[in-house]
Amino acid sequence: MLGLARGSGNRSLNGMAEVNGRYLRPLLGIERATTVAFCEDSGLTAWQDPQNSESKFARVRVRHNVMPILEAELGPGIAQSLARTAEQLREDETALAELAELFFAQFASTKSTSIDIALDAFKSAPLAVRHRVVAKALQILQAPEFARVHIRAIDALVDDWHGQKPLTLPGVRVERTATHIVLKTAKTLKPGAC
């Protein structure tokens, strides 16, 4: 819910997964009331995270203030519906990330201070894949910071090409050649062109 309000992408909207690398959350899909009742029936005291009642945290305000309003206005089951949506987004994000990795392996050439991406293949790739490929390239080149506005500016070199000059983004210079989009580590950090 917080990610949605902040305009986040799939990765942030897909929530926590039951299995994420070495982290296992086998009880994630079970409602809190069920785990509390089980503990009581078993003579155990359910642990209450004190931060879950502190309204200084946005997630607590959403849980205690926003969710009840949504349930009252839209009907019960909002939390479960959001969990299903998050699961679908997780599946989509996994597929898109895999496609981007395959694209990068096939059409990107990594050098010590630059990455060349084959222009024709890049043009024909879906935007969601292109954006992930650019994000990966920026991470590899250790761009100090980048946001959607930077990725969209690189898109303009592909989709809105009219001979514009190379882009100078935080830590990276990006140019279009006849055959490639070339991302290079910038020598100096100058204000971006976007």
DSSP 49-68: -GGGG-TTSHHHHIIIIIHH
Backbone angles phi, psi at 180, to 5 degrees: -145, 160
Closest CA to 119 of 185, 194, 182, 193: 182
CB atoms within 10 A of CB 109: 12
SS3 content of the chain, % helix, strand, coil (to 5): 50, 15, 35
Distance in angstroms (rounded) separating the CA atoms of residues 117 and 89:
27
For residue 187, what pLDDT is reported? 64
State residue 49's pLDDT score.
87
Q: In the prediction, which pLDDT does 190 show?
A: 46
Per-residue pLDDT of the chain (194 residues; tens, 9 = 90+): 777 777 777 777 777 778 888 888 888 888 888 999 999 999 999 988 888 888 899 888 998 999 999 999 999 999 888 888 888 999 999 999 999 999 999 999 999 899 999 999 999 999 999 999 999 999 999 988 888 899 999 999 999 999 999 999 999 999 999 999 999 998 644 454 44
Report the predicted TM-score, pTM, of the whole model to 2 decimal places: 0.76
Name the token pair of 25. Answer: 């959350």
All structural domains of the chain, each given as residue ranges with its CATH number in brackets, are 2-95 (3.40.50.620), 97-185 (3.30.465)
The H-or-E segment that residue 85 falls in is: helix 78-107
Q: How far apart are the first and last CA of the chain?
A: 29
